[in-house]
Amino acid sequence: MHSALLADGKVVTAKDYDEKMHGVRIVCMDKCCNVPVYFIPSSKGVISHFKTSGKGSSVHKEECGFSRKLTFQETVAKVSEYQTSLREHGIREIVVKLNLNSIDPDIDVKTNERKQREKIEKEPADLDEDALKEDKPTPQSIGSLRSVKKLFTSVEPDLLATIIVSVKGERIPISELIRHHDIAHVAVWEDKTLNVPYFIHGCIEKVIRRKKVWYINFTATENGFFSLIIFDRHFKHFTLKDNELIGKEVLAYGMLKRNEFNKEKKSTEMIIKTNRYIEFL
Ligand SMILES: [Zn+2]
């Protein structure tokens, strides 16, 4: 772990930790855990961090985000929790650009790349764990669903909680952009979402293929329905079969929209265009 709680309740990162200044009584930053942790200075290519000793009371509690390897969904929940507490303590945030133009078949990538090159000399590098650990001078970006999945299944939640995503002129904590479909659905109908693309996760229950449009439905809840929509002009880009989709946990990417035609049956939609708008979890 890269951050810990001091005796006065403040958060300190391993990079800023100074025993003389901060004292040695430091605990796990997960509020449900709070067990003693120890500072490990950097050595042999491993950067400084905090860890439990594994002895006595210095063992992470079961519900702690550092007690074991978390699933994608568990990490999303923990990052959301930590992001709130890290922000309160003014911990360094890393701003990352969201740029998924390369997965969009409607954007002429070549023209787009040329335009980008005119603006900035170098394309931002895809965000990775190293960039989160050190201050990299080069801008970082998120360029695919796969990189989101990789980050959330391999990087510790307190590091992920420092990510702020820059998209469409907004700067948004990453935990707010990744949501379970039911939470996103409720937010859409309460007008509590922003006009930016979201990453939505959930389990696919049903696929309906009509002549002009295909619907991929997540499991219905008492709050309503959530469907991924593919229009006929994109059918050729979407080759996943029903049996590859039904019953699978996926992450999908796109803009959220209410289905205004049938307000009785509250339903939220997200238009997707190719296989690359879905990542299996
Ligand atoms: Zn812990």
Q: Which domains, from first to last, does the chain contain?
A: 3-67 (no CATH), 94-176 (no CATH), 177-280 (2.40.50.140)
pLDDT score recorded for residue 121: 53
pLDDT score recorded for residue 6: 93
pLDDT score recorded for residue 114: 63
Q: Would you tell me how many other CB atoms lie within 10 Å of the CB of residue 164?
A: 16
Rounded to 5°, angle at Cα 175 from 12 and 18: 10
Do the beta carbons of residue 158 and residue 87 sit within 8 Å? Answer: no
pLDDT score recorded for residue 86: 84
Which residues are close to ligand 1, an ion, with C-beta < 5 A? Answer: 28, 30, 33, 60, 64, 66
pLDDT score recorded for residue 117: 61
- Kindly give the distance from the C-alpha atom of residue 165 to the centroid of ligand 1, in angstroms, as a whole number: 26
- Kindly give the distance from the C-alpha atom of residue 4 to the centroid of ligand 1, in angstroms, as a whole number: 9
Is 153 strand, coil or helix? helix
- Kindly give the distance from the C-alpha atom of residue 94 to the centroid of ligand 1, in angstroms, as a whole number: 23
Report residues of the chain scoring pLDDT below 70.
109-123, 135-138
User: Please, what's the largest Cα pairwise distance for the chain?
Assistant: 70
Q: What is the pTM of this model?
A: 0.88
pLDDT score recorded for residue 130: 78
Torsions phi, psi for 271 (to 5 deg) = -80, 130
